[in-house]
Amino acid sequence: MLPEYRENLHLRYPPVCDSCFPAVEDEIRRKDNMARTQALGGWLKESKGKEMQRRVSATSKGNEKIGLEMVAWRIRGCLWVATLITALVGNSTGQ
């Protein structure tokens, strides 16, 4: 099976001479680098849109969450003030 495969490879990609080998390797490296750059660029473009989408949805959800937390802290503050006033009034009357 290996000889058939090797023959098929030689038909599709003929071997190069020793003097042409560095130029062919250089071309392969350049094409590989270009393919990686394009793949990374496409991935970055794709993720950039998603990141902006995440920020927008996270911001609106975050605003709702912050609003609820602020209400909860205001209620806690009012209860603390009411407890403080009750304790001060109770201490001043001697009870």
Q: Work out the pLDDT band at 51, boundaries 50, 70, 90.
A: low
Identify the sign of the CA torsion 33, 39, 40, 45.
Answer: positive
Give the model confidence (pLDDT) of 18-38 as tens digits. Answer: 888 888 889 989 999 999 988
Q: Work out the pLDDT band at 60, boundaries 50, 70, 90.
A: low
Look at the pTM and tell me if it is higher than 0.85.
no
Encoded tokens for 58: 């996270």
